Structure 1
Amino acid sequence: MNILLVAATHAEIQPLLTHSEGEKPFDVLITGVGMVATAFALGQQFAQKKYDLAINLGIAGSFDRNIALGEVVEVTEDILAEFSAEDDNQFLTMEELGFGKSRFLASHQLDAMFLLPAKKVCAITVNTVHGEETSIQKITERLRPQLESMEGAAFFYACKRSMVPSLQIRSVSNYVEKRNRENWKIGLAVKHLNDFAVELLEKL
């Protein structure tokens, strides 16, 4: 099976790369941060090689306080939260405008593949991560997201356009709130993400 692991930064999957050093039964693509970099890098990669499965690994912020910091979850739906238009106080989606799609689904899920269990969540992909109370309230009321990242929906989009099966796995590093880095658990999130990824790859 040809597997592509996709991450925005080396730091998010460095423990996995160290664990698999010398014997990597998969390709690795570090796209850079953000949806533009992700879509461009994946387009280039998919033009060069055909994959049986692409897995997006990364950390994320959570709107959902029922998800523990460091918990690993499976994103099954991801939304381009800002890809739309405003009509006074109404927010029009690309679907409503007839100009495209803003919601994307994973083509595969862990339980359907008889792999490791993880809580399924809905995420949004943004250019600006939320850190201000009013904007957090607005996006929560409009889309009811559980997680946010800067790459997930772009990953699903590129996989769909290239007909590559996709999974997105993320670990929660922080809650979406007024920005306070002292509350973040990046090290814990990276550790749990990579432990999960190692076990997942052993099952594939």
Structure 2
Amino acid sequence: MLRRITEGCRVILVAATEAEAAPLLDACREPRTHVVATKTFVVGEYPSADLPSGTAPRRKSAAAPSIRAALAISGCDKTNAAHVLTCLLQIMEPAPLIVVQVGIAGALPGAGSVSRASVGDVVLATSEAYSDTGSSSPSGWLSAQDLGLPIARPGDVELGGSFFLDPGLVLWASEVIEAIDWADRDAGGGPGIRPAVLLGPCVTASRVTGTQVEAEEMARRWAALAESMEGAAAAHICALYQVSFLEIRGISNLVTDRDRDAWKVDRAVEVAGRAALAVVGALGHLRSSGGR
């Protein structure tokens, strides 16, 4: 069934919840919704967008076509993210150009040269890691790589639970997002206020961090910008299938002593969704010009 309904799709969009998927659903043209193994898949067309100056492909087309995409609403946590992507990547022919994961995340404290993201900012992952796969020990944390655990071995290279994204692709996406005109939206904290776009490592855990002490330890250990519950799993599956991957997160909260009432989920969903739609819209130009 999935093979038939995803025919012609060149992009996979993944969001954990219906709330995080809402901006993507709103923009989808002629959506068709299907439920497979309790997971929701929405297939439709996304319009191309004007490319910002400096990011256009060398050979422009007169009019870039819309791009057909499959939006998967996975459910929270690593297993669900891995499940929906495996379902899709196993059967899609040809393989998609890219998987784009979209959602909210918590900003970890700054550590070393890494600045802390603020609520309402956009974070693009340059790498992902399972921060809870490994072992504590009297001498400190031992990662999956430290323990020699077999986690992912694409191309005969053991990745040890850490996954590095294509730096050129991440940089290109950041340029597209930086060029968004936020004047008509309240997403960045007020009309016309532009969210910062930060690039850096991100981490993933089923047991998310909820104390300031743990947050500082996580920041020191991983030098990461943000924490989510799905990112590394999506990066993991994309690495196994050798499909390009982007992770776009809107910051909903600062990772500190847990205070759910302080989270700005709607704001984070809005900036992440707007950023993802800009990237998907720009992909139509790249595809039609023979780029990436």
Q: TM-score, normalised by structure 1?
A: 0.91
CA distance in structure 1 between the aligned counterparts of 2:10 and 2:128, rounded to whole angstroms: 24
Give the CA RMSD over aligned residues.
1.9
Q: Is the 8 A contact 2:100 2:276 kept in 1?
A: no
**1:160 maps to 2:205:** no
For the residue of structure 1 that corresponds to 2:243, the secondary structure is: coil
User: Distance between the aligned counterparts of 1:198 and 1:76, measured in 2?
Assistant: 19
Deviation at 1:119, TM superposition (A): 1.9
Question: One-letter code of the match for 2:105?
Answer: A
Instruction: Letter of the 1:185 partner, please give it.
Output: K
Q: Which residue of 2 aligns with 1:87?
A: 137
Point out where structure 1 has 5 or more consecutive residues left out of the alignment. none
Q: Distance in 2 between matches of 1:64 and 1:21?
A: 39
Instruction: Tell me if the contact between 2:108 and 2:216 (Cα under 8 Å) persists in the aligned partners.
Output: no
Q: 1:36 aligns with which of 58, 79, 82?
A: 79
8 A contact 1:110–1:116 mirrored in 2: no
Residue type of the partner of 2:209? H
Structure index of larger Rg = 2
Which one of the candidate residues 52, 55, 73 is aligned to 2:100?
Answer: 55
Deviation at 1:198, TM superposition (A): 2.1
Matched, 1:18 2:26: yes
CA distance in 2, matches of 1:3, 1:161: 17
The code of the aligned residue for 1:111 comes to L
Residue identity opposite 1:141 in structure 2: R
Aligned length: 204
Are 1:105 and 2:164 matched, yes or no? Answer: yes
Given the alignment, which residue of 24, 46, 61 partners 2:89?
46
Aligned mates of 2:96, 2:25 — CA distance in 1: 19
Change (3 A) 1:137 1:166: same
CA contact (8 A) 1:46 1:162 kept: yes
Aligned to 1:194: 273
CA shift, 1:89, in A, is 3.5
**Partner-residue secondary structure (3-state), 1:201:** helix
Secondary structure of the corresponding residue to residue 136 of structure 2 = strand
Structure 1, residues 51-70: CA drift from partner, whole Å, max 9, x if none? 11110111100014642211
Aligned equivalents of 2:255 and 2:271: distance in 1? 19
Query: Percent sequence identity over matched residues?
Result: 26
Residue type matched to 1:60 in 2?
A
Which whole-Å deviations, capped at 9, do the CAs of 1:108-162 have from their partners, x for residues lacking one?
A: 6233466434421211100111112332233233222210000001110000001
How big is each residue's C-alpha offset from its partner over 1:151-193, in whole Å with a ceiling of 9 and x where there is no partner?
0011100000011111111110000011112221111111111
